[in-house]
Structure 1
Amino acid sequence: MSTIDTEKSILADAPGPSSVRDVVGAYLSLCKPRIVELLLVSAVPTLFAASHGVPSITAFLAVTLGGTCAAASAGAFNCVIDRDIDRLMERTRNRPLARHRVGPRAALMFGTALCVISVGIFLALANPLAAVLALCAISHYALVYTLLLKRRTPQSTLWGGLCGSAPVLIAWAAATGSLSWTALSLFLVVFFWQPPHFWALAVKYRDDYSRAGIPVLPVVASIRRVLTESVVHSWLMVTASVAVWPLTPTTPLYGVTSVVLGGVFLFQVHGLHKAARSGQEPRTMRLFHTSIVYLTLLFLALAADSLLRHGS
């Protein structure tokens, strides 16, 4: 089916007047709740680590509410900018703007309101550093990643990861009013985690990205090269995660967990790389799901470690 036919099909299938429930659901979809949830998975445990145990209620509310609004704002801006290519991709063609459930102007106003609310929450409940970092993360995702890099270079995945890693810095700043080497190391864990996580998904949907003209690495390079770079980033990720152990006073719980989880992740990514070298079709979606489990368990271990030390 051609691009014109695809767009005509989408327009023909566009729904008519919606109920209040449908409208609320459409705006909720603009926020990309799954991405918000994944960002909080790293931000909230980092808050516990920075607070050396249970954080203050104001810092907790700042990170959860302000962080949710910041991520949702970035997601809404992304949907506005990418509405043309979202219509061409099977994975994204049901997004609200692609299906004309929400207009671009309304979505832009919605994203702007969430941005203002997010910055206001961080200013009121945390500190200016956290607010500035949140604003920078939103701006980077919308303007640098989505508008400038995504359609031009396969390196967009790596440098777009700056905003995806920012919640760690924002949480640390919300708790302490400053940053530290531990915060930087945790930032690098998420930064180097994102390319193998995303590329594993992009391999499955490379025809989608190719159709939309998005030069993600699996579209412009061989699977072998994608997995070679995934191996490199995975080693950097595991190195950064283990480096947290000597940088901050953690118990063996975090240290052992980081080593074991890192070993499991590296075993799987090396296995996929070996399969690609032998000419087999690697099952990259297994790595995608493993990456989510890895990040979740690693940061849960960080929070549990902080609670153990707080109670001792």
Structure 2
Amino acid sequence: VNPATFWMVRVQPLHPLIAASVGLFLALAAGLINHLRPHPMVRQATTWMVGLYAFQIAVGALNIWFKAPIPMQMFHLVMADVNFISVIAVGVFAFAEGIEKVESRPAPFSEEPVRRATWKDYVALTKPRVISLLLFTTLTAMIAAQGTWPGAIVFFSVALGGYMSAGAANAINMVIDRDIDLTMKRTATRPTVTQSIPSRDALAFAGSLALGSFAILWAAANMLTAVLAFTGLVFYVVVYTLMLKRRTWQNIVIGGAAGAFPPLVGWAAVTNSLPPLALYLFAIVFVWTPVHFWALALLLKDEYAAAGVPMLPVAKGDKATVDQILMYTIVTVLVTFAPFILPGVGWTYLVAAGLLNALLVMKCLKLRKVVDRPRASGLFHYSMIYLAILFLVFAIDRVLVVG
């Protein structure tokens, strides 16, 4: 585009991504507001807000289909004003008098006084141990996409932006799950439970991380990368945490897609595209997730049961869980071999995938034979090593083949 062109024309190619970003933000806002302001009037307002924006997206699509006649363009602009009014209305209802502010509920009684938060508490909000493996898939996907070192600036910027986005999702998750975290021993001392970090401050921190992540990823890479990272955040908070986690044992199957976005973020950061090979990486993490988390759920089933979270071992029992783990292990094996059929993937990856899969199947079969904590723990910890080595070897293979 000619730099002398009017700025609105220059940003026109980004319009679909901008529209997607706004839609994701409204979905996130609607989910959080409905949780934090549990009132029928608020729920009705957020439903109208999301519904009107969905209608606006449809109007935009029709504009493209009919090559944007002037009357439809004008209607599209009017609908933008209506959407803005709906957002204002949600804010008015959410902060109206007499509506409970869930985030202001006091901390549970404790003999120890609430201590002042430190920087370590804010780091804990982001769940760095959980993020590390996801971030590793992002960075190795960058190298795999480029076929060589992508450059220090983009590499470390995506590492920072990816961490901030995942950290924001985890911080919001802690605010939402504060009530059930209180009932579980391993989560009862989280800063959102003890209120050493008040829920309102945790949400402000998460919002700052999300906004900073979007800006960094857009500036250092491209807007597609920023939107993909934000999509993963919204999917984790809205689809997994708010919609599925407390309702169905399939929560981790569908909601686990949130953890499969990091490879897409890494690939898009250096190519500004999502070819089939990038989608295969998404699929690998997606089908691996149930194996990993259900092994963990076997270890924590008593805590999940006490909290009322219907994880598979709680809802269906150990045998059904192990059967599902074995089924998803078989699917994982098949999906990890699939990239080899595409050009640009060599024998190094195929051999490594074969060895890693053989050990994964072996550990699953041992667990199926005798379901106990040591074998469930062994599968859980190996599954993390499995994914890390698989992505590392994939990146090395791509450097050897493409670089």
TM-score strictly above 0.5: yes
How far 1:232 moved relative to its partner? 1.1
How far 1:67 moved relative to its partner? 0.5
Deviations 1:237-263 (A, max 9, x none): 121111122224233221100111011
User: Is the CA contact (8 Å cut-off) linking 1:45 and 1:303 kept in structure 2?
Assistant: yes
Identity level (%) = 39
Structure 2 residue aligned with 1:230 = 325
What is the identity, as a one-letter code, of the residue corresponding to 2:203?
L
Structure 2 residue aligned with 1:252 = 347
| Counterpart check, 1:307 vs 2:374 | no
- Tell me which of 38, 47, 54 is aligned to 2:149: 54
Residues of 2 paired with 1:182 and 1:36: CA distance?
23
How far 1:10 moved relative to its partner? 5.6
Distance 1:13 1:242, change over 3 A: farther
| Counterpart check, 1:12 vs 2:107 | no
1:105-120 map, 5 Å = 105-120=200-215
Structure 2 residue aligned with 1:283 = 375
User: Is the CA contact (8 Å cut-off) linking 2:107 and 2:194 kept in structure 1?
Assistant: no
Residues of 2 paired with 1:281 and 1:194: CA distance?
19
Residues of 1 paired with 2:126 and 2:174: CA distance?
9
How far 1:15 moved relative to its partner? 4.2
Kindly name which structure, 1 or 2, has the bigger radius of gyration based on alpha carbons.
Answer: 2
Residues of 2 paired with 1:211 and 1:98: CA distance?
16
Aligned length: 298
User: Is the CA contact (8 Å cut-off) linking 2:147 and 2:395 kept in structure 1?
Assistant: no
Residues of 1 paired with 2:195 and 2:109: CA distance?
8
How far 1:58 moved relative to its partner? 3.7
Distance 1:78 1:248, change over 3 A: farther
Structure of higher RCO (CA pairs closer than 8 Å, 6+ residues apart): 1
TM-score scaled by length of structure 2: 0.71
1:26-37 map, 5 Å = 26-37=121-132
User: Is the CA contact (8 Å cut-off) linking 2:252 and 2:290 kept in structure 1?
Assistant: yes
Residues of 2 paired with 1:229 and 1:59: CA distance?
39
1:1-312 map, 5 Å = 11-18=109-116, 23-276=118-371, 283-309=375-401
Residues of 2 paired with 1:178 and 1:112: CA distance?
27
Residues of 1 paired with 2:268 and 2:112: CA distance?
44
Residues of 2 paired with 1:138 and 1:281: CA distance?
32
How far 1:13 moved relative to its partner? 4.5
Residues of 1 paired with 2:345 and 2:373: CA distance?
40
Distance 1:109 1:9, change over 3 A: closer
Unaligned runs of 5+ in 2: 1-105
Residues of 2 paired with 1:50 and 1:97: CA distance?
38
Unaligned runs of 5+ in 1: 1-7
What is the identity, as a one-letter code, of the residue corresponding to 1:51?
Q
Deviations 1:110-149 (A, max 9, x none): 0011000111111101111111111111111111111111
Residues of 2 paired with 1:153 and 1:16: CA distance?
35
How far 1:206 moved relative to its partner? 0.7
Residues of 2 paired with 1:16 and 1:180: CA distance?
50
Residues of 2 paired with 1:128 and 1:281: CA distance?
44
SS class of match (2:186): coil
Residues of 2 paired with 1:16 and 1:206: CA distance?
30
Residues of 2 paired with 1:273 and 1:237: CA distance?
17
Deviations 1:169-227 (A, max 9, x none): 11111111110111111111111111111111111111111111100101011211101
What is the identity, as a one-letter code, of the residue corresponding to 2:272?
G
TM-score scaled by length of structure 1: 0.91
How far 1:281 moved relative to its partner? 7.1
Structure 2 residue aligned with 1:3 = none
